[in-house]
Amino acid sequence: MLKKPDLDCFFQPQSIAVIGVPSKIPKKNWPGIYGCLLAYGYPGRLYPINPKAKEIAGNKAYPDLSSLPEPVDLVILSIPAEAVPAALRECARTGNRNVHIFTAGFKETGEPAGIRLQNDIQKIADDNNLQVIGPNCMGLYVPKSRIATWVKPPDAIGRVAFLSQSGGHAQDFTNYGARLGLGFSKVVSYGNALTLDAGDFLRYLAEDPDTDIIAMYLEGVADGRRLLEIVREVNQFKPVVILKAGLTESGTRAVASHTGSMAGQTHIWDAFFKQSGAIPAQSLQEMANTVLALQHIVSVQGPGVAVLGVGGGVGVEAADACSRAELSLPDLPESTQHKLRQFVAPAGNMIKNPVDAFVVLLDLRLLAKTLDIISSETCFDMIIISLHLDWIYDIDEGLHIQELANFLATSARRELKGKPFAVCWRTTRLVPEIKEQGLLFEETLLKANVPVYRELAQTANALSSILKYHLLKKQLRN
Amino acid sequence: MLKKPDLDCFFQPQSIAVIGVPSKIPKKNWPGIYGCLLAYGYPGRLYPINPKAKEIAGNKAYPDLSSLPEPVDLVILSIPAEAVPAALRECARTGNRNVHIFTAGFKETGEPAGIRLQNDIQKIADDNNLQVIGPNCMGLYVPKSRIATWVKPPDAIGRVAFLSQSGGHAQDFTNYGARLGLGFSKVVSYGNALTLDAGDFLRYLAEDPDTDIIAMYLEGVADGRRLLEIVREVNQFKPVVILKAGLTESGTRAVASHTGSMAGQTHIWDAFFKQSGAIPAQSLQEMANTVLALQHIVSVQGPGVAVLGVGGGVGVEAADACSRAELSLPDLPESTQHKLRQFVAPAGNMIKNPVDAFVVLLDLRLLAKTLDIISSETCFDMIIISLHLDWIYDIDEGLHIQELANFLATSARRELKGKPFAVCWRTTRLVPEIKEQGLLFEETLLKANVPVYRELAQTANALSSILKYHLLKKQLRN
């Protein structure tokens, strides 16, 4: 693999200058990049640049880069598009090599003026060996360095990185992640990818000791062959999950209009996934769900799933969801069904697989016994536990829901003898107390590193993604 | 079409007897069928039957059907499976023809005892011309008659009927519906379908003046050809939306285990949908979303969608979602783009379609103007308005969100000149206030009969379902 690119200045900058800071930071509405950095508590040396201001938010303002006491690790441009070429030249002249261009209005407009401007800045950047994130992008979110160029990102530091060609998606994905207890190491919204593209960030993240899992939102890429090679290599030791947008006729045109990218054709990207081993995702939520499973489940050995839960219709839904995700639900062997029949009556219960037996969920000893029996079967590679909280709530107004959470967060692992499992819960009744109990239940499981979902299709897809990842990785290694 | 079956006794019973009522109604946990009827306030004559009790919940208890002062409109059996044949014989003997068998433990167990019992009760029902809902099912929910055989169903009366082979799904679907402001006319969970099957209920609903739209959860059906003919006819004047479960290998086996049904093969059901014109749904949520669109949108003329909203990545997602749902996003004609360029700057905005222009959402006059301009284009058959509330919230902490809601609930229709539209909103930031504003926003729109969703794929799928319904209906009529 190529040498790790020199991007430390972006992710751990000791000093940042922001060009184009308003004299007064708006209290409402968007506070601007400088305001975001202040609000998130960036601890380094932060220089606002505005030739018309002496002081901004109580800090000394500077008229330009050359008046700064030092060349900075990172310059952020938040100025009109027409002013960007001159600002980039000033960066080059003053020895400021690392630039994030927040400004939009370039190639993505599809209009002659914007395309010409992008060609201009491309030349300036190339001639002067500048490293540029953007233009037309939100930029950076690195909780460990307390850097965020958008409003109110989550505080949690974690081991997931996210590369995104959409700033909105960078915000949404990190928020979805936070709900699932995922924290982030480094997040980059890089828009039109003038000099730094997905591949460069990937090579950096490959050797980043703070990153274990890499998620990407891709609209297009200039050099697909190069990206394929990088992903294939990185994916062998850090799973790469990619949401590739624009793979439909309307999507392709929207991508051109958003980041001026060529989306590429479906069959090319199908081959990309097959040859790189990257995990495809169809939506941000699906990507977050997959990352959650990757974070908590080391490996899955095969496609056999046992589903344990309550509700006949829900059981059928689980079976269909698993089949659609290319997992299988082998019938419980007859001898095992006999064991379950000792404490599960035939009427109103299914015990073939799915095992739908309310009695088992009501008594933790029976649940432990059932998990032990099921997980002893070699035909099962993983277990899905599906809980309808509306029905469990009625027993004792939520006490048992929390007992189940504590059991699943602790002793369940022992009964399952280390077999991977995921939990899926639902409540549909319009009773706020049940939803609250559900959120508590979810929190307990997430804190115990148990992947927990709210839809069976999501659960099956996440488990299936892990299985496919391991199978394909093995195949590509050979 | 065959004569409307005589099912009024089930849906508007003047009297109900419940056999198998415990002497004491449990306060916690499931209160039983009799407890559910009491709790939901069934206003008719309600007779609890229990030979060991004199009084139950303050009401006179009866030892058996023959001691009742009258033959009742509906008998509900909630007794062990082995006791069901004798009870059915008693029904026949005492002139009680309409029976709901709640009890499980029949054919669906797949075990010899259960199969034998089902054969027994089949013979008794057939010989005595009994009309049976069930066995192995939750039964009835008819808000207008204040009948509910499960816990805490929604109060709202509406014009949607639901037929379900799963009692859990009957509860979940009506709860999903309630969230979307949908009310129900008649809901039946009919389990193993001993004598009354989907087709019988459908024929009844076809002529039911309280029902406009029919949703169904089907696991299997004894006579598929007959159901096809009924659905095809009903669907011409009342749309029928069907979630067909068990169309996967594992799902087929789960269906057998749940209701003892034959799920049937995928290609047969594909043909069923094509020949009947019924609208397929992949999940309960999708079915509820489709019903919402059917309730509020009279017709869609073609596949052209204009998407107006905010966020580049979100716009790409909308385009991909529409394409996947077989809708198209034609580019705005150049002349129209020029009109928009009068008040939308090129930088940071897309105006081709999706139209992503924050400025337009911030000013209701500009929004009205934009909707007027867009809806004048003949290439657009419908409009999706996509709002990221996280960003709109920041302007003024939610005030503008509610202004947008009021505009979309009232004047938007005029600007759109009657073209169908749907709204999709999201919030991902972990700020409870934004979610609250979103729920208020949603409520305002639903009250004004605007279909509103939280995911773009759901929005596109619902609109696409309406279009396909109308196209296929027309084709089948010719």
Q: What is the mean pLDDT of residues A263-272?
A: 89
- Asked if B399 reaches chain A (Cβ–Cβ under 8 Å), the answer is no
Q: What is the mean pLDDT of residues A232-258?
A: 92
**Residue A140 maps to a domain:** no
Work out the pLDDT band at A354, boundaries 50, 70, 90: very high
Measured between CA atoms, the residue of chain A closest to residue B82 is A347
Contact B430 A257 (CB under 8 A): no
Let me know whether A15 and A72 are in one domain.
Answer: yes
Distance from CA of B30 to the nearest CA of A (A): 7
Measured between CA atoms, the residue of chain B closest to residue A170 is B313
Task: Give dist(CA B185, CA B294) in Å, integer.
Answer: 16
pLDDT above 70 as % of chain A: 99
On average, the pLDDT of chain A sits at 94
**Residue B1 maps to a domain:** no
Contact B257 A315 (CB under 8 A): yes
Distance from CA of A139 to the nearest CA of B (A): 14
CATH, residue B106: 3.40.50.720
Q: What distance lies between CA B53 and its chain's CA centroid?
A: 39
Contact B319 A247 (CB under 8 A): no
Let me know whether A262 and A323 are in one domain.
Answer: no
Residue A371 token pair? 């998990």
Residue recorded with tokens 């699943």: A408
Query: String of b and e for A118-148 (b: at least 16 CB within 10 Å)?
Result: beebbebbeeeebbbbbbbbbbbbbbebebb
Residues of B with CB below 8 A from A314's CB? 166, 168-169
Residue A336, φ and ψ in degrees, nearest 5: -75, -40
Task: Give dist(CA A467, CA A381) in Å, integer.
Answer: 10
**Of residues A151, A253, A428, nearest to B175 (C-beta):** A428
Q: Is residue A2 pLDDT above 70, yes or no?
A: no
Task: Return the H-helix or E-strand segment holding B390.
Answer: helix B389-396
pTM of the model: 0.94
- Asked if A109 reaches chain B (Cβ–Cβ under 8 Å), the answer is yes
pLDDT of residue A1: 47
Residues of B with CB below 8 A from A26's CB? none
pLDDT of residue A3: 62
Residues 224-283 of chain B whose Cβ lies under 8 A from any Cβ of chain A: 245-251, 253-255, 257-259, 283
Task: Give dist(CA B286, CA B453) in Å, integer.
Answer: 11
Number of H helices, E strands in chain B: 19, 19
Residues of B with CB below 8 A from A162's CB? none
For residue A134, is it left (φ>0), alpha (ψ between -120 and 50) or beta?
left
Let me know whether B338 and B190 are in one domain.
Answer: no
Let me know whether A285 and A322 are in one domain.
Answer: no
**Of residues B394, B428, B457, nearest to A151 (C-beta):** B394
Contact A29 B395 (CB under 8 A): yes
Instruction: Tell me which residue range forms the domain holding B96.
Output: 8-133
Let me know whether A317 and A431 are in one domain.
Answer: yes
Q: What is the mean pLDDT of residues A10-29?
A: 92
pLDDT in tens, B199-228: 999 999 999 999 999 999 999 888 899 999
Contact B167 A313 (CB under 8 A): yes
Query: Treating both helix axes as pointing N-terminal to C-terminal, what angle do B389-396 and B432-447 enclose, rounded to 10 degrees?
Result: 100
Q: Residues A472, A475, A477, CA angle at the centre, nearest 5°?
A: 110
pLDDT in tens, A277-302: 999 999 999 999 999 999 999 999 99
In this prediction the ipTM stands at 0.93
**Of residues A245, A347, A348, nearest to B317 (C-beta):** A245
Task: Among A241, A274, A296, give the residue marking a domain's end.
Answer: A296
Alpha-carbon dihedral sign for residues B173, A423, A430, B387 = negative
Residue B33 token pair? 């069928």
Distance from CA of B249 to the nearest CA of A (A): 7
Let me know whether A316 and A460 are in one domain.
Answer: yes
Let me know whether A340 and A278 are in one domain.
Answer: no
pLDDT of residue A27: 79
Task: Give dist(CA A151, CA A137) in Å, integer.
Answer: 14
Task: Among A251, A271, A296, give the residue marking a domain's end.
Answer: A296
Please check whether residue B383 is in contact with residue B355, taking contact to mean a CB–CB distance below 8 angstroms: no
**Residue A384 maps to a domain:** yes
What are the CA-CA distances from residue B148 to residues A152, A434, B235, B445 (Å)? 46, 21, 27, 29
CATH, residue A234: 3.40.50.261
Q: Which residues contact B300 (CB under 8 A, 6 or more apart)?
A: B381, B382, B420, B463, B466, B467, B470
Contact A171 B396 (CB under 8 A): no
Please check whether residue B158 is in contact with residue B181, taking contact to mean a CB–CB distance below 8 angstroms: no
Q: Which residues contact A254 (CB under 8 A, 6 or more apart)?
A: A246, B315, B316, B318, B319, B320, B329, B350, B352, B354
**Residue A3 maps to a domain:** no
Let me know whether A276 and A341 are in one domain.
Answer: no
What are the CA-CA distances from residue A99 to residues A21, A163, A195, B72 (Å)? 16, 17, 10, 82
Residues 38-77 of chain A whose Cβ lies under 8 A from any Cβ of chain B: none
Distance from CA of B478 to the nearest CA of A (A): 32
Let me know whether B327 and B470 are in one domain.
Answer: yes
pLDDT in tens, B26-50: 877 789 999 999 999 999 999 999 9
Per DSSP, A359 falls in state H
Residues of A with CB below 8 A from B454's CB? none
Q: What is the mean pLDDT of residues A249-255?
A: 87
Residues of B with CB below 8 A from A152's CB? 429, 431
Q: Is residue A216 pLDDT above 70, yes or no?
A: yes
pLDDT of residue B3: 62
Contact B255 A316 (CB under 8 A): yes
SS3 of residue A189 by DSSP? strand
Per DSSP, A191 falls in state T
Measured between CA atoms, the residue of chain B closest to residue A167 is B313
Which parts of chain B register pLDDT below 70? 1-3
Let me know whether B336 and B459 are in one domain.
Answer: yes
Task: Give dist(CA A142, CA A211) in Å, integer.
Answer: 12
**Residue A149 maps to a domain:** no
- Asked if A337 reaches chain B (Cβ–Cβ under 8 Å), the answer is no
Please check whether residue B154 is in contact with residue B161, taking contact to mean a CB–CB distance below 8 angstroms: no
**Residue A127 maps to a domain:** yes
Contact B245 A317 (CB under 8 A): yes
- Asked if B183 reaches chain A (Cβ–Cβ under 8 Å), the answer is no
Residue A207: CB atoms within 10 Å: 13
Let me know whether A83 and A13 are in one domain.
Answer: yes
Let me know whether A214 and A312 are in one domain.
Answer: no
- Asked if B347 reaches chain A (Cβ–Cβ under 8 Å), the answer is yes
Report the candidate in A231, A202, A387, A398 with the shortest Cα–Cα distance to residue A311.
Answer: A387
Contact B328 A113 (CB under 8 A): no
Domain count, chain A: 3
Distance from CA of A212 to the nearest CA of B (A): 24
**Residue A139 maps to a domain:** no
Task: Among B265, B296, B327, give the residue marking a domain's end.
Answer: B296
Task: Give dist(CA A357, CA B36) in Å, integer.
Answer: 22
